[in-house]
A and B are shown apart, each in its own frame.
Chain A
């Protein structure tokens, strides 16, 4: 059994190494047929009559990259960026001579604007100088703030300065519709397309060498614990003495790896193109479309959760609460966050996760999403209203009956990852009073931020304005997506598992958790009851609380635990050696009767500190 576990560990590490190596290795070639296929030679006719594919080919030729073979991802991506930049520049320069404001037109404007020693710039002048109505409209749109009556110019020079700046802007935007996008999704597509390495030619083999080895190794590592851990029961032996679970150097390596992975995923996913290619067959079989980086992430998410759910089943096989909870949260991830959305895409419906609720699903009310949903008939409309009902009715009502646990540790994807992959790190959450203070400020600030951002977005959506009370809608969305959506929930939220515990995002950042927390704290049947005088203050409950709640401080007073942050994972109750803690939904009074000297909270309500 030990041997199987050892082999499993090495198999897993081998799979991880190959998966990681895929970021660095890979063969690429700028092949003509790929360029034509990828850049749609037939449809995208540029104004000059040429195609984007030809233009890009020309740029590659100019750089002598065409046909060049690359062995290494970094070289290729650097050249790809260079070629795209050149092509985009070329196409603009070329079109400026056709569609741009020409030097002679500019001269005509300079001379026409001077009248009686004054500078008079207006639509009339533009009509005289520019015969092309499209050009005229561009200048009206771009420079009407310089018209007479709007602005006074003392001399020609100051007028020239303003106009030239604007002209440059107008000319450089010419041909933008023919530019090759450098956004993540497109770079992912291009890198995948130009890839000629094993991840394309030998998908099955490479899938086996990465995901295959990771899955087999992970299971072979976890399964022998049925025997190795001994009888069913709490077996946290050695957790505080092992580098990887006790913030040692191994934990820091895992942290570095996870942070690196999330940075790539969010900000440079094309570096993952080899691995994305490997899950193309899976994606095709589900949605009928090739995989993007978010599909890769979803696939990794499901694989990790499955392997680690097996670990949970073994570790807590004596505890039905943990078994049921793990099963349900795993099911919601696989079915609701992965399979159903992909199948919806197969039937040309919007990708939709029915369990993901605003404000965790922060872009639910973004224009693109509302438009997308409402453009999809009855189903789309249902999805839109389901999202609203989920947040406004289902979430608080369920939180009233069951506490926020029904979502956070039974349904939520973030919670699902934390409860499976993150479980080995739960003991690392900080239990200090200081962290509690930080937590309350931070998590409620994020909630406030999400609400403001969404109100601004909705107002803009229905009014058509782009700025509200001095807040630029696009900017606030960008800031939220970057800071909260990417950095906090992903890079920090999951990346920091090994050192700061598995609920860093849920505890300090999740606006939905904050929202449900308010319900749980003030109006909910859920609480953790403590068992009279049985507590021996051992501290297992506090140590293993992933949310950093000092459970013991309540248990040793015989006081029920009603805390906004509790996600009801049930582990405090599981690790308690004296049967002191029980998660309950009940109407029972929150104070207990009995001998006041035994049930401490009856003699005196202790100050929080004493």
Chain B
């Protein structure tokens, strides 16, 4: 039967499932989004503000792509969902019927009820509209911006504003930047790097309120220590949460996000949710959080659900944890799990370059010496290598011995495996010699 599949949201999750549905079937496909006419890479909005790219460069597919592949696009806002009649009410008065509905509505910036949080000049950084707002808010130049929230979007926003040489004060509630993810030493390294970029970092500092000036716009903020910081832009980057307000009035079960099982099915037949807006009752992987606001999980969910709809019922399985980020000039990659502090059965091995922003931290089981995860800063690692080694349940010794196979830095970069292995040997009283890079180790089945 030819379905009419309606996808709400043209972010990475919605667009990935649309592409795979098209690949696997001739169903009618419609994507509805109120944000932009075409899909773009949200992760790169910062580079438009910084002048590295134009907005059009953020669109991975040329505009003719959608029509050519018979993926219909509609720019509108869905006001409500009627799951009984399988229809959607749009803000332009239109009604759209579906046979299958896929919710991929993404996130919205968190606001915690701060006084003044809706003033002009106060904004998050998530959508194309947020980017436009920031351009508008800074078009005449500003004397200072204050950013609230010590996570990835916060440091990105700081980098953006610093790229235009605006002074930035960065309030972080905890005593470390991104301390719930990064070990103390690495967090401290990133904080040193913020100083290099002249970011005025305030730890253990919270926003109390935002003060409006005579023009009605934000003119300063007051911290929980009572300090008033004059500023023209306030960035609210204390995380994001599922963008599901319009879903809450429907029959679809929600908690923080839209509740789904491992097949990405909601409580209503033929209604699915994926990407940032989906919340698992219980995550099928066990080691991941029930809401995952990550680029690649949106892709994997899209592919998984398209397989379920068009081929065979497939449970979501994102595989081993991995991720990456860039903190100004420092690249960060992680494969497997490395928590800020080792768990009871875990041990960390950490190597840091004495002067440069380079570090490697390997987490392993101190009883079985099984490799658990790795964090690298300033050194690129090969995803396939660690995915394979995690599958093969390799020991930390094996990882150390074969570390050169995993190096993914550009040619002629200085390599530090010998130093890393030497330190590991001296700390653990082992005698591992690093093996030369060998493609066969890596690519044989």
Which residue of A239, A540, A578, A593 is within 8 Å of B443 (Cβ)? A593
A21 at the interface (CB under 8 A from B): no
Is A540's CB under 8 angstroms from B47's CB?
yes
Is A319's CB under 8 angstroms from B410's CB?
yes
Is B41's CB under 8 angstroms from A537's CB?
yes
A188 to B23, CA, bound (A): 64
A145 at the interface (CB under 8 A from B): no
Which residue of A542, A588, A609 is within 8 Å of B69 (Cβ)? A609
List which B296-331 residues lie within 8 A (CB) of chain A: 296, 299-300, 303-304, 317-320, 322, 324-326, 328-329, 331
Is B380's CB under 8 angstroms from A540's CB?
no
A173 at the interface (CB under 8 A from B): no
A600 to B296, CA, bound (A): 11
A597 to B60, CA, bound (A): 20
Is B22's CB under 8 angstroms from A233's CB?
no
The interface residues of chain B lying within 8 Å CB-to-CB of A604 are: 23
B268 at the interface (CB under 8 A from A): no
A278 at the interface (CB under 8 A from B): no
Q: Mark B310-354, 1 if CB is under 8 A from A, else 0.
A: 000000011110101110110101000000000000000000000
Give, as a whole number of angstroms, the nearest-CB distance from A410 to chain B. Answer: 12
A46 to B38, CA, bound (A): 78
A556 to B15, CA, bound (A): 13
A480 to B227, CA, bound (A): 74
A534 to B326, CA, bound (A): 12
Is B384's CB under 8 angstroms from A240's CB?
no
Which residue of A321, A537, A556 is within 8 Å of B411 (Cβ)? A321
A367 at the interface (CB under 8 A from B): no
List which B38-92 residues lie within 8 A (CB) of chain A: 41, 43-44, 47-48, 50-54, 57-60, 62, 65, 68-69
The interface residues of chain B lying within 8 Å CB-to-CB of A586 are: 439
A543 at the interface (CB under 8 A from B): yes
Give, as a whole number of angstroms, the nearest-CB distance from B20 to chain A. Answer: 8
The interface residues of chain B lying within 8 Å CB-to-CB of A578 are: 324-326, 331, 333
A103 at the interface (CB under 8 A from B): no
Is B410's CB under 8 angstroms from A573's CB?
yes
The interface residues of chain A lying within 8 Å CB-to-CB of B19 are: 610
The interface residues of chain A lying within 8 Å CB-to-CB of B59 are: 539
A103 to B50, CA, bound (A): 82
Is B65's CB under 8 angstroms from A538's CB?
no
Is A593's CB under 8 angstroms from B383's CB?
no
Q: Mark B421-445, 1 if CB is under 8 A from A, else 0.
A: 0000000000000000001001101
A584 to B322, CA, bound (A): 23
A386 to B38, CA, bound (A): 54
Is B412's CB under 8 angstroms from A324's CB?
yes
Considering only CB atoms and an 8 Å cut-off, how many residues of chain A contact the other chain?
A: 62
Give, as a whole number of angstroms, the nearest-CB distance from B312 to chain A. Answer: 12
Is A536's CB under 8 angstroms from B383's CB?
no
A243 at the interface (CB under 8 A from B): no
The interface residues of chain A lying within 8 Å CB-to-CB of B96 are: none
The interface residues of chain B lying within 8 Å CB-to-CB of A539 are: 41, 44, 47, 53, 57-60
Is B62's CB under 8 angstroms from A574's CB?
no
The interface residues of chain A lying within 8 Å CB-to-CB of B44 are: 536-540
List which B355-387 residues lie within 8 A (CB) of chain A: 380-384, 387
A460 to B60, CA, bound (A): 52
Is A536's CB under 8 angstroms from B43's CB?
yes
Is B51's CB under 8 angstroms from A239's CB?
yes
Which residue of B318, B381, B409, B442 is within 8 Å of A597 (Cβ)? B318
List which A570-586 residues lie within 8 A (CB) of chain B: 570, 573-575, 577-579, 582-584, 586
Task: With CB as the reference atom, state the residue of chain B lying closest to A585.
Answer: B411
Is B412's CB under 8 angstroms from A598's CB?
no
Is B51's CB under 8 angstroms from A543's CB?
no
Is B410's CB under 8 angstroms from A556's CB?
no
Given contacts A540-B52, A577-B326, A597-B300, contact A532 B412 (CB under 8 A): no
Is A606's CB under 8 angstroms from B410's CB?
no
Which residue of B47, B318, B383 is within 8 Å of A531 (Cβ)? B383
B246 at the interface (CB under 8 A from A): no
Is B69's CB under 8 angstroms from A598's CB?
no
Is B383's CB under 8 angstroms from A597's CB?
no
A320 at the interface (CB under 8 A from B): yes
Is B384's CB under 8 angstroms from A532's CB?
yes
A594 at the interface (CB under 8 A from B): yes
Is B296's CB under 8 angstroms from A598's CB?
yes
Is B329's CB under 8 angstroms from A231's CB?
yes
A186 at the interface (CB under 8 A from B): no
List which A19-71 residues lie within 8 A (CB) of chain B: none
A193 to B283, CA, bound (A): 86
A104 at the interface (CB under 8 A from B): no
A232 to B193, CA, bound (A): 12
B388 at the interface (CB under 8 A from A): yes
Given contacts A534-B383, A556-B60, A570-B410, contact A543 B53 (CB under 8 A): yes
Task: With CB as the reference atom, state the residue of chain B lying closest to A322.
Answer: B410
The interface residues of chain B lying within 8 Å CB-to-CB of A540 are: 44, 47, 52-53
The interface residues of chain B lying within 8 Å CB-to-CB of A579 are: 324, 331, 333, 380-381, 408
Given contacts A532-B387, A579-B381, contact A237 B319 (CB under 8 A): no
Task: With CB as the reference atom, state the residue of chain B lying closest to A557.
Answer: B299
Task: With CB as the reference atom, state the residue of chain B lying closest to A588.
Answer: B439
A172 at the interface (CB under 8 A from B): no
Is A531's CB under 8 angstroms from B380's CB?
yes
A154 at the interface (CB under 8 A from B): no
Is A588's CB under 8 angstroms from B47's CB?
no
A157 at the interface (CB under 8 A from B): no
A242 at the interface (CB under 8 A from B): yes
B218 at the interface (CB under 8 A from A): no
Is B53's CB under 8 angstroms from A240's CB?
yes
Give, as a whole number of angstroms, the nearest-CB distance from B39 to chain A. Answer: 9
A201 at the interface (CB under 8 A from B): no
Given contacts A321-B410, A539-B58, contact A240 B445 (CB under 8 A): no
A471 at the interface (CB under 8 A from B): no
Is A597's CB under 8 angstroms from B317's CB?
yes
Give, as a whole number of angstroms, the nearest-CB distance from A580 to chain B. Answer: 8
A432 at the interface (CB under 8 A from B): yes
Is A536's CB under 8 angstroms from B51's CB?
no
Most buried by A among B41, B52, B197, B414: B52
A236 to B329, CA, bound (A): 12
List which A535-554 residues lie within 8 A (CB) of chain B: 536-540, 542-543, 552-553
A556 to B39, CA, bound (A): 14
Is A582's CB under 8 angstroms from B41's CB?
no
Task: With CB as the reference atom, state the residue of chain A lying closest to B407.
Answer: A582
Is A593's CB under 8 angstroms from B445's CB?
yes
B114 at the interface (CB under 8 A from A): no
The interface residues of chain B lying within 8 Å CB-to-CB of A318 are: 329
The interface residues of chain A lying within 8 Å CB-to-CB of B287 are: none
A533 to B386, CA, bound (A): 12
The interface residues of chain B lying within 8 Å CB-to-CB of A531 are: 380, 382-384, 408
Task: With CB as the reference atom, state the residue of chain B lying closest to A432.
Answer: B62
The interface residues of chain B lying within 8 Å CB-to-CB of A582 are: 380, 408-411
A582 to B333, CA, bound (A): 15
Which residue of A533, A587, A597 is within 8 Å of B304 (Cβ)? A597
Can you give 11 contacting A-B residue pairs, CB < 8 Å? A236-B47, A320-B414, A531-B408, A534-B322, A539-B59, A589-B443, A595-B319, A597-B300, A598-B319, A607-B23, A609-B68
Which B residues lie at the A interface, using CB under 8 A?
12, 19, 22-23, 41, 43-44, 47-48, 50-54, 57-60, 62, 65, 68-69, 163-164, 193, 196-197, 295-296, 299-300, 303-304, 317-320, 322, 324-326, 328-329, 331, 333, 380-384, 387-388, 408-414, 439, 442-443, 445
A236-B50, A539-B59, A582-B408 known; 12 new pairs, CB 8 Å cut-off, are A236-B51, A239-B51, A319-B413, A320-B411, A531-B380, A538-B58, A552-B60, A553-B60, A586-B439, A588-B442, A595-B320, A607-B23
**3 shortest A-B CB distances, which residue pairs?**
A532-B383, A233-B329, A579-B380
Which A residues lie at the B interface, using CB under 8 A?
230-234, 236-242, 318-321, 323-324, 432-433, 531-534, 536-540, 542-543, 552-553, 556, 570, 573-575, 577-579, 582-584, 586-589, 592-595, 597-600, 603-604, 606-607, 609-610
